[in-house]
Structure 1
Amino acid sequence: MRLLSFYSDSYTSLEKGFLVQDLHSSSETEHLLKCLLLEHEQYYLCTYDKDSDGCIWQSLNYFRGKGSEIRRTRILPVKGVPLYPYILNSSNSAVFYTFAGACSVLRECKEIIPEVKGILDLAGQCTIKAPKGDFPVIVIEGLDATGKSTLCHALKDRLNAFLLKSPPSCLSQWRKTFDEEPTLIKRAFYALGNYIAACEIATLSCKAPVIIDRVKFLSSVNSMSFSKSSHQDISLKKELQTLLSTIQDLSTKIDKLDLNLENFKEKSSQQMETIHLDLRQQKEQINGIETSLNDMDSRIQVNEHNLESLLKQNSLLSAKIDDLENRSRRNNIRIFGLPENVEDNNMEKFLTSWLPEILQLPEALSYGIERAHRSLSSSKINKADTTRSVIVRFLSSYDKEIVLKTAWSKSPIKFKDNVIQFDNDYSSSVIARRKLFLPLLKELKKETQIKTHLVFPAKLKIFLQGGPKIFDKLEKAIAYIKSNKILDDMDWASTNLKRLVENGSWKSLDHKKKLKKK
C-alpha cells in the first residue's frame, strides 16, 4: 500500500488530501478507512474501482453521521501532461506546507549535520504569525542572467523600498553544505529559509514596500533539474518572451502606481489648502469671540460698578425708609397679652375706659386715641391659640409717653389672668434686631440683679457699678460678660447663647420646637 499527499491550486477542490493506493486490491481497505475517519464529524471519501470490462469508476461519498454517495463517474485514462521541472507535484516532490514540518526534518539531522543547530536557533527567533503590513510586496522571478537584480535595484530606488533575497542572507553561508545533501533535506533547508524570509517581509512591509529578488525553493537543484530534464521541448525563447512580457507588465503597473501617487499628492494638496482655509476662518471666528468676550468683560465690570453703587444707594434708602417708618410710629404703643374679643369690636372705646382704670392714670389727661386695632396675623398661625397684640396710636406723643412710662412702672400688669405688657411700636427690621438681645436679657434677669435696657434702635445698655455699657452687637456683649465673669455659674456651652453667636439668630431652636409640636 502506498500513501501520497497532494494539494491543488484551488482551495475548494477535492484534489487535496491523501491518496491511498492498494496494490493488492483488498476489499477491506475502504472499510478500514471509514473506521479511521469516524472521529471526524464530516469528510469526503473518493474511491476508484475497475469493473469486469476494465472500465475505471470514481465514486464520491459524503459522510456526516451516515454516508451517502454524491455521484459515480467513469474515468477515462489519458496520457499525463509533461510538467515543467520547477513545478512540484505529488509524485516527485516533498513540499513542506508548515513551518513545523520543515523544522522537524532538520531536527532529525542535528547529529549528522552540525550546521543544523545554527539554522534551528535562527528559526526559533522568528515570529511566524507576525502581522502583515499595508505596503506592497513585489517578487521578481526569472532565469539567471536575465536582469532580475538590475530590475530589483531600480525598483528599490524608485519606490524607496527594502530589497531582500531568498534564502535570506543569514542562511546563505550554509547553502553549499545543504546543496550536497539528499533532496528531502535540501528542500527542508530552503523551505525553512522561505519561512524566515516571510517573517522578515511581514515586519518590513509595515514600514515601506518590499522587493524580493527571487523566491528559491532549491535553486541549485532546480538548475540541475532544468539541465537534466527530459522536457527539452519547452523552448528557452518562449520562456524569455514570457519573462520580458512580465517585466513590461510590471513596468506598466509601476507607471500606474506613479500616476496614482501623483494624483494622491494633488488631492492631498487640495485638501490641505481647504484645511488651511478652514483653520483661517476658525481663527477669525475665535478672534471675533475673544473680542466679544473682552467687550462683555468691560460691560460686566461697568455693570458691577453700577450694581455696587445701586446697592449702596438701596442700603441708604432702606435705612432712610426704616427711619421714616419708625418716626411715623413715635405716637404708637403695642399692648401684648390682651385677650381676644374683650374690646367688643370697638378697640378705641374700650381702651379709652380701660387704660385709666388698669394704669390708674390721672383724670386730667385727655388720652386722645387716634386709632387702635389688633395686629395682622399670619394665616399659618392658629388664631385660637394666639393672642394678637394691639397697636394704639395717640394724638399726642406726650400722652403716649405718660401711658408707656406708667405701664412700665406698674409692671407686671395682670388682666383676666393674663400678663399685659406695653412697649414702643417699631418697624419689622428694628424688631428683628432687638429680638437678638432678648435671650441674653432673660439670662441676665434670671441669674443676676443687673439692670438692662434696650436703646433705640437696637443697642443693649447694661448698668454696672463702674457705669453703663452699651453694645451694638450681641457677640460683643457676651464676650464682655464672659471676660468680666458676670455670669460665672452659667454653662455657656449648654445655653442658647453659644448657638446664637454661631448662627446669628435665635430662630433655629424655637423653630425646631414648633415643628416638633406640629
Structure 2
Amino acid sequence: MAAKKEKPKTTGRKEEGKTSEEEGEGLTCPKRPAAEREARSHRSVEVPGSGLQNWLAEPSKSAQPRMKKKHTDGRGEQLRSQSPQLRETPAAQQQVQNTDNNDNKKEEGKKKTRKQEMANPEEEEEEQKEVEEEEKGKKMDVSFFKEYMESLKEWQLQEFDEIKRRIKNAEERMNKMEVAISELAKRVENMEKRETFVDMEVKDLKEKLEESNKKAKEAQELLAQKIDMIENYNRRNNIKIVGLKEDEEGKNMREFIKDWIPRVLGRPESQEEMEIEGAHRTLARKPQPQQKPRSILVKFLRYTTRENILEKAMKKVREDKKLLEYKGQKNFFYPDISFELLKKRKEFNTAKTILWKKGYKFMLRYPAVLKIIIPGQRNRLFSDPEEARKFAEQLQNKQR
C-alpha cells in the first residue's frame, strides 16, 4: 500500500525533470549546475585546442533538474569548490574521484530502493535511462577534464620554457654587461694612470718653465744693463748744457760753444785743447719765448776734455758759492747719460739735499755711485739710494 501511494509523487518528479529532447534538440550529455561547474573549473586560462571552457560556459537547461538529485551529502561539492591550485594536485583529484564513487554507490542504493517501491515497469525503464545518461555525462566530464588538464600542462610547460628562455637571455645580457663594465673599469684605470703621468709631466714642465722664465728675466735684465752700458759708453764724451737762451748760438753752434765755455767758466782754454766733434740742441719742437729753452748736447773728441770741463764747473760753483750765469740766465753742466741711468741718479736727490744743507762735500760718480767726503774720516761710497739717505740723516743728527 505504501508503494502505491508514492506513485503520484514519482510521476510528479518526472514531470519536473524533462529530458534533453524536450528542452533542446541534439543535447545528449547532461551538464552540472552553474555553482558546481564554477567549482570544478580552473582559473580562466585560454588553452588552444580545448573546448572545455566554452562547454562549461554555456550550461544546458535540461541538465539542471537531473543534477539536483546527485550528491546529497555535499562532500563532492565542497571538494570541487576548492581553489584551482589545490585541484591541480594528484591527491586532490584522487579525493574528488573517491568522493564521486561513494556518491554513485549511495545513489545506486537509493535507486534499488526506489525500484523495489515502484511497481510500474515504464517508470523503471525511464529511471534506467536517466541513470545511463548520468553515467555517460560523468564519463564525458572526466574526459573533458583530462583533456583540459593535459592542455593546461602543455601550456604551463610552454610558459616555463619561455620563462627559462627569458632568464637565459637576461643572464647573457648580464654577462655582456659585466664584461663591458670590466672593460670600462680598465679604461678608467688606464685613464687615471695617464692622468697621473700627465700631471707629473705638467708639473715638471711648470718647474722648467718657471726656471726658464727666471733665467730669461735675469738675462733680460743683464741685456738691458749691457745695452744701457753701451749707450752710456757712447755718450761718455758728451755734456749737456741747460739754460742757454734760444738763438743765442747764432748759426754755428760748434764755434759758439768753443768760445762760450771758457768765458762762462772764467778760465779760457786754448782751441787745441777743446776739440769738439759736434754740438746741437735736443731734437724737440722750438719753444715759445716765455717757455724753457731746449738743452744743448756737446760731443768732445776726448773723454778727458769732458771731465775737465765738468770738474772746473763744479769748482767754480763751490768757489763763487753761486750757480753759473750768462746774460742773467742760470746755466748748468751735466754729463750726457741714458734715461735709465738718469732715473737711478735722481734717486740720490734726497741724500744730496741733506748733505748740501749741512755743508758736506759729495759727488756722484759714474754710473750711479754717491761719494760723501767727511773731514778727518774715510770717504764713503753708496750705490743704494736708501742707505745713502739713512747715512745722511745720521750725519745731520750728529751735528745737532
Normalised by the length of structure 1, the TM-score is 0.41
Q: From the superposition, tell whether residues 342 and 253 of structure 1 become closer, same or farther in structure 2 (CA, over 3 Å).
A: farther
Q: What residue is the counterpart of 1:359 in the other structure?
A: 265
Q: What residue is the counterpart of 1:336 in the other structure?
A: 242
What amino acid sits opposite 2:42 in the alignment? T
Q: What residue is the counterpart of 2:333 in the other structure?
A: 422
The Cα shift of 1:307 comes to: 5.1
What amino acid sits opposite 2:179 in the alignment? E
1-structure distance, mates of 2:155, 2:376: 121
Q: From the superposition, tell whether residues 418 and 279 of structure 1 become closer, same or farther in structure 2 (CA, over 3 Å).
A: farther
2-structure distance, mates of 1:258, 1:385: 109
1-structure distance, mates of 2:397, 2:365: 21
Q: Does 1:476 align with 2:397?
A: no
Pairing partner for 1:451 from 355, 358, 361 = 361
The Cα shift of 1:420 comes to: 0.9
Q: What residue is the counterpart of 2:233 in the other structure?
A: 327
Q: What residue is the counterpart of 1:442 in the other structure?
A: 353
Q: From the superposition, tell whether residues 370 and 478 of structure 1 become closer, same or farther in structure 2 (CA, over 3 Å).
A: same
Q: Which stretch of structure 1 is more off in the superposition, 430-439 or 300-309?
A: 300-309
Hey, which of these two has a bigger chunk of strand by percent?
A: 1
* Structure 1 unmatched ranges of 5 or more: 1-231, 490-518
Q: From the superposition, tell whether residues 382 and 239 of structure 1 become closer, same or farther in structure 2 (CA, over 3 Å).
A: farther
1-structure distance, mates of 2:247, 2:192: 75
The Cα shift of 1:345 comes to: 5.0
The Cα shift of 1:484 comes to: 5.3
Pairing partner for 2:279 from 359, 372, 397 = 372
Q: What residue is the counterpart of 2:36 in the other structure?
A: 236
Deviations 1:273-321 (A, max 9, x none): 2233234334434444544554555455555555555554554444444
Deviations 1:421-440 (A, max 9, x none): 11222233321211101133
Pairing partner for 2:303 from 397, 400, 403 = 397
Q: From the superposition, tell whether residues 384 and 252 of structure 1 become closer, same or farther in structure 2 (CA, over 3 Å).
A: farther
2-structure distance, mates of 1:238, 1:469: 128
SS in 1 for 2:246: coil
Q: What residue is the counterpart of 1:30 in the other structure?
A: none
SS in 1 for 2:255: helix
Q: From the superposition, tell whether residues 383 and 431 of structure 1 become closer, same or farther in structure 2 (CA, over 3 Å).
A: farther
| Counterpart contact for 2:354–2:393, Cα < 8 Å | no
Which of 1 and 2 has greater Rg?
2
Instruction: Report sequence identity in percent.
Output: 25
2-structure distance, mates of 1:471, 1:394: 29
Q: What residue is the counterpart of 1:172 in the other structure?
A: none
Cα RMSD of the aligned pairs, angstroms, is 4.0
| Counterpart contact for 2:350–2:389, Cα < 8 Å | no
Q: What residue is the counterpart of 1:121 in the other structure?
A: none
Aligned residue runs from structure 1 range 240-279, under 5 A: 240-243=40-43, 245=45, 260=166, 262-279=168-185
1-structure distance, mates of 2:159, 2:285: 97
What amino acid sits opposite 2:351 in the alignment? L
SS in 1 for 2:34: coil
Hey, which of these two has a bigger chunk of helix by percent?
A: 2
1-structure distance, mates of 2:158, 2:387: 101
Q: What residue is the counterpart of 1:460 in the other structure?
A: 370
What amino acid sits opposite 2:370 in the alignment? L
| Counterpart contact for 1:365–1:399, Cα < 8 Å | no
2-structure distance, mates of 1:453, 1:288: 65
Aligned residue runs from structure 1 range 111-510, under 5 A: 233-243=33-43, 245=45, 260=166, 262-295=168-201, 297-298=203-204, 301-302=207-208, 305=211, 308-344=214-250, 346-366=252-272, 367-377=274-284, 385-411=291-317, 412-446=323-357, 448-467=358-377, 468-483=379-394, 486=397
What amino acid sits opposite 1:453 in the alignment? M
What amino acid sits opposite 1:263 in the alignment? N
1-structure distance, mates of 2:38, 2:340: 117
SS in 2 for 1:388: coil
Q: What residue is the counterpart of 1:81 in the other structure?
A: none
* Structure 2 unmatched ranges of 5 or more: 1-31, 46-151, 318-322
The Cα shift of 1:475 comes to: 1.9
> Higher RCO, 1 or 2 (CA under 8 Å, sep at least 6)?
2
2-structure distance, mates of 1:283, 1:244: 56
What amino acid sits opposite 2:368 in the alignment? A
| Counterpart contact for 2:354–2:392, Cα < 8 Å | no
Deviations 1:118-141 (A, max 9, x none): xxxxxxxxxxxxxxxxxxxxxxxx
What amino acid sits opposite 1:458 in the alignment? A
2-structure distance, mates of 1:249, 1:378: 113
| Counterpart contact for 1:433–1:458, Cα < 8 Å | yes
| Counterpart contact for 2:238–2:336, Cα < 8 Å | yes
| Counterpart contact for 2:281–2:297, Cα < 8 Å | yes
| Counterpart contact for 1:338–1:389, Cα < 8 Å | yes
SS in 1 for 2:334: strand
1-structure distance, mates of 2:330, 2:39: 133
Q: From the superposition, tell whether residues 414 and 253 of structure 1 become closer, same or farther in structure 2 (CA, over 3 Å).
A: farther
2-structure distance, mates of 1:360, 1:439: 31
2-structure distance, mates of 1:357, 1:453: 24
Q: What residue is the counterpart of 1:506 in the other structure?
A: none
Q: From the superposition, tell whether residues 397 and 319 of structure 1 become closer, same or farther in structure 2 (CA, over 3 Å).
A: same
2-structure distance, mates of 1:271, 1:454: 85
| Counterpart contact for 2:238–2:306, Cα < 8 Å | yes
